[in-house]
Amino acid sequence: EDQVTQSPEALRLQEGESSSLNCSYTVSGLRGLFWYRQDPGKGPEFLFTLYSAGEEKEKERLKATLTKKESFLHITAPKPEDSATYLCAPTDSGYALNFGKGTSLLVTP
Amino acid sequence: NAGVMQNPRHLVRRRGQEARLRCSPMKGHSHVYWYRQLPEEGLKFMVYLQKENIIDESGMPKERFSAEFPKEGPSILRIQQVVRGDSAAYFCASSRDTNTEAFFGQGTRLTVV
């Protein structure tokens, strides 16, 4: 059975303290891996799509990378507004996303 | 350009009643997906639809749940004879094509009392 594990479950950072979130997956025949952020009470907000090992995408303070077994979301100099739950979702079908449980990030001033 | 619209945002139903959740995809999107998020659990895929067709319903419970995406109007997720275990947040997403970014609505939070 396909599995997705995100670590850590929760992360507390000081503003400006860079870190990385991990997403390990065992999805066979990966067609893509998606990153979303979710704020409390809201729907997931799309961040990135990665399609092949070695690919990297950047957006503001976020950078996502992909290997054959895991993906990392690097957060550089985070701000309090980056506080959210970050979800990764690999897919082997191209449409049914296998969401992990997420990493809950809190950035304090 | 409006995003994915779901309504209602909150729905309370008594055990045994029916729940109807509606989703209007983003303009230009013909692919619709429904997900369920139980407390303390991740989002789980339920069903994938295109206009008038169910493409994959492998994540749908076999009984009481159904989905449609008619030629005109929103996609509907219907839950008959709701039970307490159906209480969850139900999210709809839409995309222009498969294996491209899917955009999510704000969800419908169903509470069964």
Contact A75, A82 (CB under 8 A): yes
Which DSSP helix (H) or strand (E) runs through A48?
Answer: strand A45-50
Name the residue facing A42 among B48, B95, B106 (closest C-beta): B106
Q: Are A75 and A19 in contact (CB under 8 A)?
A: yes
Q: What is the pLDDT of residue A2?
A: 62
State the best of B97, B99, B109 to mutate against chain A, taking most chain A CBs within 10 Å. Answer: B99
A9-18, A69-78, B84-93, B97-106: least confidently modelled range: B97-106
**Is it the case that residue A28 has pLDDT exceeding 70?**
yes
Mutate to test the interface with A, among B43, B69, B101 (most CBs of A within 10 A): B43
Is residue A72 predicted with pLDDT exceeding 80? yes
Q: What is the Cα–Cα distance from A72 to A6, expressed in whole angstroms?
A: 10
Cα first-last separation, chain A? 41
Decide if A17 contacts A78 (C-beta within 8 A): yes
- B104/A31 touch (CB, cutoff 8 Å), yes or no: no
φ and ψ at B86, to 5 degrees? -80, -10
